[in-house]
Amino acid sequence: MNVLAWCVAAWLLGVGIYGIVTSRHYVHLIGCMTVCQSATYVLLLGIGFRWGAGAPIFYDHPPGTPAVDPVMQALVLTDIVVSASMTALLLAIALQVHKRRCTLDPQHLRPLRPRE
């Protein structure tokens, strides 16, 4: 149980990388990037977690109640925004690539091809 969270994070990163490397489609590749990123969510939230503690919101509970680390939660929020920004940007690029090359297979897409 103690190492499960870390193993999940490592696993997500690993399968994400495998997915990117074997990808046959840009949009699939972008999905795999998101999988890699979820590894960081798991890692950060796991680091902030504390047994028997609640959310760091002191509305119903008075301040002083055990609560998990709010800093890590704030970092994950930033991470989510990063993910959203990056995905929007990559999808926009993929859309334009498709309009110009009519394919999204990474095997066939390479800038500045060598002269035949």
The verdict on 8 binding another protein (CB under 8 A) reads no
Residue matched to tokens 């504390």: 50
Residue 83 token pair: 């993910």
Please select the residue that binds another protein; options are 25, 28, 86, 103, rule is CB under 8 A: 86
Q: How far is the CB of 2 from another protein (least distance, A)?
A: 5
Count of chain residues binding another protein (CB under 8 A): 77
The verdict on 89 binding another protein (CB under 8 A) reads yes
Residue 81 token pair: 């925004």
Residue 81 — left, alpha, or beta (φ > 0 → left; ψ -120 to 50 → alpha)? alpha
* Distance linking the first and last C-alpha atoms of the chain: 57
The verdict on 77 binding another protein (CB under 8 A) reads yes
Q: Which of residues 94-113 bind another protein (CB under 8 A)?
A: 94-97, 100-101, 106-107, 109-113
